[in-house]
Structure 1
Amino acid sequence: MLLCVAGLLRPERTAGFKILSLLSFCVSIQFLYVYFLLKGIYFEPSFLNHLHIPLAWFLGPGMYSLYSVTVREEKFSTFERSFYFPGIGLSILFPIIHLVLPQSFQAHPIDYFEQGSTSWLDLLLVGAYTSNLVYYSAIVWQTRRSFQWDRLKRDSGARLLLYIVIGSGSATLVLVLAYLFRDIHLLFASVLGTVVYAVTGYLAQIYLPEVFREIGPSMRDAYRNSRLEGIDTEDLENRLDNLMSKEKIYLQEDLSLTILSSQLDIKPYQLSEFLSQIKGTNFSKFVNGYRVAEAVRILEKENGANILSVAYRSGFNSKATFNLAFKSIQGVSPREFLRKTKVS
């Protein structure tokens, strides 16, 4: 809970800190409810005894969002926002259902373990923890290159990442098993283990901050490499060169990352990563390089060429975009370049 408050009070208003605050709050509520369960503490109205269930549905999406903004360095997409719908929906529905069917919340959480009964609330909670494992597995799969033995031996950031993944995944798995086997001792062990894990991580962050700073680069490198996994980059480079140099696909005004990637039979994110990792550029700069080279060829060949006409013939869809791209590459505007060409 303190981490949640600290995240909200920090001067940085980044998405990462907001997500971390959300996760800290949700985890704190899970701990409190396990304590209430073990102590037999209950509240009125009765739906308050089960509010940890909607919040459990935020943990997996929150972890994935934190990974997305810190490692993939991407903004929230509409698709990623949909991950939060179950948690938001249940948070809204619980008080409404209580007003209509108050008896739906009469079962106590401890009944699942002591009486062997199963309510719809228990199924929702097990579903939440199971879905969280799916999100954690997705993160592991996308960063699996970090866990190769050679990398683990030389990269302390990768080793710490493995510790975090094993710790959070194991705690969630034990929680699922506790409910599957109706074992309250496993439930207690899971909570105790998570507390020890969190405290150990906190102390390590204080005394070994330089190791924690290595996690980001390690994960980013692993993520980027995994995006190009299975792709013959040499063949891709040859096919891309053929499309640009021979077929001159860059002359299409509406050429986009999606269109070009479909021509190469790869995903847009793979083409973007190829251009970034192999070519050291991005899609816009890459295409504009060819378009400006085409414009230079026309300007040198045709005396008195119309600037706007050259822009459209080179693949640009506006004169302003053409002037900006031309000057950034050639160092002078198209008109100045044309003037120099005439003088020479």
Structure 2
Amino acid sequence: MLLSVACLLRPEKSAGLKILSLLSFCVSIQFLYVYFLLKGIYFEPSFLNHLHIPFAWFLGPGMYSLYSVTVREEKFTPFERSFYLPGILLLIVFPILYLVLPQIFWSRPVDFFEKGSTSWSDVLLLGAYSANLVFYSSIVWQTRAAFQLERLKKDAGARILLFVIIGSGSVTSILVISYLIRDINLLFISVLSTVIYAVAGYLAQIYAPEVFSEMGPSMRDAYRNSRLEGVDTTDLENRLESLMTKEKLYLQEDLSLSTLSNQLDIKPYQLSEFLNQRKGTNFSKFVNGFRVAEAVRILQKEEGANILSVAYRSGFNSKATFNLAFKSIKGVSPREYLRKSKVS
């Protein structure tokens, strides 16, 4: 709990710290409930004895969100927000179910271990931890390029990352195993290990930030490399250049990232990453660069050309978009550019 509050009180108000606060809070809830379970402490109303289950469903999505904002450096998408729906729905549904069917909460969490019985709440909890392993596996898969032997030998950040992933994955696996073999002591050890692991990582980040500073670049490079894995980037660059300069695909008003990636026979996210890595730009700026160059060619060739006509002929779908793109690249509006060209 203290770690969760500490994250919120840090002077830098980043999305990563907010997510870390959520994760710390959820881990604390799991630890407290295991402690209550071992001590035979129970609450009324009885649904409170099972309230750790919804919070367990936040752990995997939280880790993936932390990875998303720190490594992929992307904002939350509606799809990623949907990962939190199971936990949110359970938090809402539990009190309502208690009012309608209080008897379904009469079973005690300890019964799973002591009596060998399995209730619907036990299945939900085991499902949460299994889902969390899927999220962790997804992160590992997307950063797998960091764990090649040659990279591990020379990259300290990659070694730290491997240690973190092995640690968190092992703890979660032990937790799942503790349920599968119904060993309550193993459950306590796994949850306690998670708390110690989280606190140690937080303190290390504060007192030795240089140790972890190398991990971010390693993960980002690994993520980018894995997205372009199997793609011949030299061939891709040549084909892209041909499509834009010879076939002039940029003249299509409805040209999209998806359309262009289909032409290149790659995934949209791979094209986006290629433009980001190799060209230092995004799709919109890349295409607009060709369109503005085409507009300049027309303005220089055709004296007295109509600005709106030039915009459409260059591939833009509106005058406003054309003006913004033109000024961002040339530093002046199309009309000013035309006036200066006449003067010179």
- TM over 0.5, yes or no? yes
Alignment partner, residue 184 of structure 2 = 184
Alignment partner, residue 233 of structure 1 = 233
Alignment of 1:272 onto 2:265: no
SS of residue paired to 1:107: coil
Distance in 1 (CA, whole Å) between partners of 2:155 and 2:248 is 43
Aligned length: 344
- Residues 69 and 199 (structure 1), Cα distance of their counterparts in 2 relative to 1, 3 Å cut: closer
- Residues 200 and 16 (structure 1), Cα distance of their counterparts in 2 relative to 1, 3 Å cut: closer
Alignment partner, residue 319 of structure 2 = 319
Distance in 1 (CA, whole Å) between partners of 2:292 and 2:97 is 63
Q: What pairs up with 1:1-344 in 2 under 5 angstroms?
A: 1-343=1-343
Distance in 1 (CA, whole Å) between partners of 2:174 and 2:204 is 24
8 Å contact from structure 2 (residues 244, 290) kept in 1:
yes
SS of residue paired to 2:118: coil
Shift of 1:116: 1.0
Distance in 2 (CA, whole Å) between partners of 1:223 and 1:129 is 25
Structure 1 length as normaliser, TM-score? 0.94
Distance in 1 (CA, whole Å) between partners of 2:207 and 2:10 is 21
Distance in 2 (CA, whole Å) between partners of 1:328 and 1:209 is 38
Per-residue CA deviations over 1:63-105 (Å, capped at 9, x if unaligned) read: 1111111111111111111111111111111111112221211
Letter of the 2:268 partner, please give it.
P
Distance in 1 (CA, whole Å) between partners of 2:106 and 2:5 is 33
Letter of the 1:254 partner, please give it.
D
Shift of 1:126: 0.7
Per-residue CA deviations over 1:251-291 (Å, capped at 9, x if unaligned) read: 11222222222222222211111111112222122111111
Letter of the 1:22 partner, please give it.
L
For structure 1, the residue ranges without an aligned partner over 5 or more in a row are: none
SS of residue paired to 2:299: helix
Shift of 1:333: 3.6
Per-residue CA deviations over 1:171-221 (Å, capped at 9, x if unaligned) read: 110000000001122112212322332343234324421121222211111
Letter of the 1:151 partner, please give it.
R
Distance in 2 (CA, whole Å) between partners of 1:83 and 1:206 is 30
**Root mean square deviation of aligned Cα:** 1.8
SS of residue paired to 2:266: coil
8 Å contact from structure 2 (residues 27, 194) kept in 1:
no
**Higher relative contact order structure (alpha carbons within 8 Å, sequence separation ≥ 6):** 2
Shifted more, 108-117 versus 133-142: the winner is 108-117
Distance in 2 (CA, whole Å) between partners of 1:185 and 1:179 is 10
Shift of 1:332: 4.0
Distance in 2 (CA, whole Å) between partners of 1:74 and 1:102 is 43
Structure 2 length as normaliser, TM-score? 0.94
Letter of the 2:277 partner, please give it.
Q
Shift of 1:339: 3.8
Distance in 1 (CA, whole Å) between partners of 2:31 and 2:23 is 12
Shifted more, 11-20 versus 244-253: the winner is 11-20
Distance in 2 (CA, whole Å) between partners of 1:107 and 1:230 is 52
- Residues 327 and 93 (structure 1), Cα distance of their counterparts in 2 relative to 1, 3 Å cut: closer
